[in-house]
Amino acid sequence: MSDHNPVALVTGAAHRLGAHTARTLHRRGWNLVVHYRSREDQAEALVYDLNRQRTDSACALQGDLASDNDLGRLAGEAIARWGRLDALVNNASVFYPTPTARATGDDWDTIMNANLRAPFFLLQACLPALKASRGSVVNMIDIYSEKPIADHPLYCASKAGLAALTRSWAKDLAPEVRVNGVSPGAILWPEGEAAMDESAQQAILDKTPLSRTGDPDDIAGTIAFLICDAPFITGQILAVDGGRSLNM
């Protein structure tokens, strides 16, 4: 029956919140297209596990979201896999500090391409299939899109742009396609160049009314709700942040 199940494409789904989202939708009977850029081993391991639970229910597709050719190919292969596409989750993003005095043109291109340009042109490529299925789009925004974090002007601008696209698309693509967003707070701490020390983490928790980090399933569950259980919700961006945005 896999050809009759709804199909979701989740970008950046090999790890962290993308992988949790893929697993959550899969548990609800969806087939998954797991996009990855460089984490092939993690993506294939996730797909193997999903297919072990339900045969022919997941596939992994590689693509560089900064490449127009890859965006078009990714959309085409995702739709062709089961002959339909019912949801697009624009989860993949880039996050690292870019102080204004030191930010470069390469920083601008890297962050804007991943966080803003890619979601636009990927949705464009997927749009005929999403309209045909009267599907849904969920964009991963950020509470910093409205109340910026210091030394991250490019990241904050890219997410603010994606928030604006979310609302614009909700008007432009209705009634065939619903478009919403999710803005996480402190769920998983940043890794790599953007990693925070314990004091910085505690400072965030001190301003979070629930006084703790959230769980990745809080985000995945909200995305699943918007896709599966909210047929009359569009153009909304839900903050899943333990109240953090109240004290920013």
Q: Give the tens place of pLDDT for each residue, 126-148.
A: 999 999 999 999 999 999 999 99
Whether this prediction's pTM lies above 0.85 is answered by yes
| Separation in Å, CA 42 to CA 22, 125, 211, 218 | 13, 26, 31, 22
Q: Using CA atoms in the order 48, 50, 51, 57, what is the torsion angle rounded to 10 degrees?
A: -130
48, 96, 144, 155: the catalytic one is 155
CA proximity to 137, closest of 150, 121, 119, 149: 119
Q: Which whole-number Å values give the CA distances from 170 to 46, 90, 108, 234, in the listed order?
A: 31, 15, 27, 6
Band of the pLDDT at 246, cuts 50, 70, 90?
confident
Instruction: Evaluate if residue 18 carries a pLDDT over 80.
Output: yes
The pLDDT assigned to 239 comes to 95
Residue 155 designated active-site: yes
What pLDDT is recorded for position 98? Answer: 97
Distances, alpha carbon 167 to alpha carbons 103, 141, 181, 222, 230, in Å: 29, 12, 9, 18, 16
- The CATH number given to whatever domain includes residue 147 is 3.40.50.720
Q: Residue 224's domain spans which residues?
A: 2-247
Distance (Å, whole) CA 230 – CA 6? 16
21 vs 224: CA distance, rounded Å: 7
Domain count, the chain: 1
More confident residue, 3 or 123: 123
pLDDT tens for residues 159-212?
999 999 999 999 999 999 999 999 998 887 777 666 777 888 888 888 888 989
CA proximity to 44, closest of 61, 28, 27:
61
